[in-house]
Chain A
């Protein structure tokens, strides 16, 4: 990876201070995104991938809090910024699209107005008329048919795919350097999913924008990502370029995920699953969080936390097995 980074997260800890105890949703995450790169962040539900993204956008809700760590956007530190300073970056330099296009748009405002708002808030000098024109141009670019008419539609009058296009238009309208997409296609059907992914890829190429795409779907990762981070129970357990990861998954969890992808031609009556469930983040032990579900776990795994070890250049994994193999 080159030295200039769009997003650089170092040892990020985001925790929720609940009545039952502290939930460490993000527990020391390191993550980097280069310019124009599409990076995937993969993991099961509740592993902290959305919270990592929300930490960047300053959208962590009470009782959650960024405890420590650093988030740098274009070299600028985001933690410790005031709400106002952070808001001026959000939507402008970094923007986000969400999982549910059905609920992510305000039901009582026209979609055009909602996108126009993003233009107006970051560009005080622009007239409403020009802002409207920008929105309609953007609608056209993200493939919304009849953009002039759609501008005045309410969200409930649009299909799921169109709504997600509106969300993308809203996120892209200020030409951000980084787009965070939190499960952007999970709520859409498969044909629309491909369209949306292609659109994001195309926009990314055209504008040299970086994308952090959060998903539990390895198919999406294979389709559009350049680089992948695998997350488990609040920690990154493996990261590698996409082909490297698919060819040589190092962490037992990543291998389990790969094996769980159903494939045509294999025995269709048997679907591979990873046994057990994600551990409760309230009661995380000392050792590797995956130890309880891991086929290759040894005594040490439940006592000590393995360090991140480089398997190859650009490919690292948090597992003793690899480090042992590496040393031997």
Chain B
């Protein structure tokens, strides 16, 4: 419990750091939000007035504290381009991203784990080679490549699944695979090598010397131990999936947070971009926290410290 509280405390620090970073970066990159917002024809007076209205004339530190204090109350500002509260926009887009992420994670974890374990058991045999080839493809192909490949094969050539996503379950299958393939590959490789590693451990000999069958040795003794590094990996994969979602959502035109972020970048929509980054950071940190807690459930040696 103490662990959880201290982790939550450090989470606040990380969040403030992330906001500071994005704040500074947005003000360093070329492109003035005011001029972008105004389009082609505008007078200097309009610029000044708008700059003042958007609080952009204040010192950066003041803007920062203004933002932080409002963010704590759930007010992430108003989007420059969409003229609506950022919080509202995010909450509206979040279900799509959540569905995509959950399906991607489900795909990555189940397929990754199963193929990793099967590969380890059938080490160097045909099934192992097959699974490892697929995982290698997943790890090496960037998401935009695998997404286009999947779209081409399943939607365009064989017409099995819709090309773009409306948000329905079926239309989410392709995006979820595109998003999860990379992680599935990583997880498959890690769980395979971890399981093979654990099978070399002394306590596996003990279990076999006890008279347990190969199956029982793997299920009862090897699997739980081999999952320890995999769990950490899975949590890290969750973070990389959040960034993958940005690309996937753009390719499949899913109205999620990722697409919101891309739009925000293109329009220099600072409040919207800050909001989406902040929101994603919270998700990633929570994911890592869950992984740590899960880790201590699996490993009694860590449980002590919690």
Interface residues of A (CB under 8 A from B): 57-59, 61, 83-84, 87-92, 95-96, 98, 100, 103-109, 114, 117-118, 121-122, 154, 156, 167, 170-171
B9 at the interface (CB under 8 A from A): no
Whole-angstrom distance between the Cβ of A146 and the nearest chain B Cβ: 19
Considering the chains assembled together, what is the distance between the CA atoms of A223 and B202 in angstroms?
Answer: 27
- A89 and B211 form a contact (CB under 8 A): yes
Closest residue of chain A to B204 (Cβ to Cβ) is A106
Q: A90-B208, A154-B301 are in contact. List 9 more A-B contacts (CB 8 A).
A: A90-B209, A98-B206, A106-B207, A106-B225, A107-B299, A117-B210, A117-B212, A118-B211, A154-B300
- A104 and B211 form a contact (CB under 8 A): no
Residues in B whose Cβ lies below 8 Å from that of A83: 213-214
Interface residues of B (CB under 8 A from A): 200-203, 205-214, 216, 220-221, 224-225, 298-301
Q: Most A CB atoms within 10 A — which of B205, B206, B300?
A: B206
Considering the chains assembled together, what is the distance between the CA atoms of A118 and B298 in angstroms?
Answer: 22
Can you offer 15 A-B residue contacts whose CB atoms are under 8 A? A58-B208, A87-B213, A98-B209, A104-B202, A105-B206, A107-B301, A108-B224, A108-B299, A108-B300, A109-B221, A109-B224, A114-B206, A121-B210, A167-B206, A171-B209
Residues in B whose Cβ lies below 8 Å from that of A88: 211
Known contacts A117-B220, A154-B300, A156-B300; A107/B203 CB under 8 A: yes
Known contacts A59-B209, A88-B211, A90-B211; A98/B224 CB under 8 A: no
Considering the chains assembled together, what is the distance between the CA atoms of A103 and B214 in angstroms?
Answer: 19
The B interface, classified by DSSP as helix, strand, loop or mixed, is helix
The A interface, classified by DSSP as helix, strand, loop or mixed, is mixed
- A104 and B206 form a contact (CB under 8 A): yes
- A87 and B212 form a contact (CB under 8 A): yes
Considering the chains assembled together, what is the distance between the CA atoms of A170 and B221 in angstroms?
Answer: 15
Considering the chains assembled together, what is the distance between the CA atoms of A170 and B203 in angstroms?
Answer: 12
- A106 and B211 form a contact (CB under 8 A): no
Closest residue of chain A to B298 (Cβ to Cβ) is A108
Whole-angstrom distance between the Cβ of A113 and the nearest chain B Cβ: 9
Residues in B whose Cβ lies below 8 Å from that of A118: 210-211
Residues in B whose Cβ lies below 8 Å from that of A61: 200
Considering the chains assembled together, what is the distance between the CA atoms of A113 and B225 in angstroms?
Answer: 16
In the A-B complex, list the 10 residue pairs whose CB atoms are closest, starting with the nearest: A91-B211, A103-B202, A91-B210, A154-B300, A106-B203, A96-B209, A90-B211, A118-B210, A104-B202, A104-B206
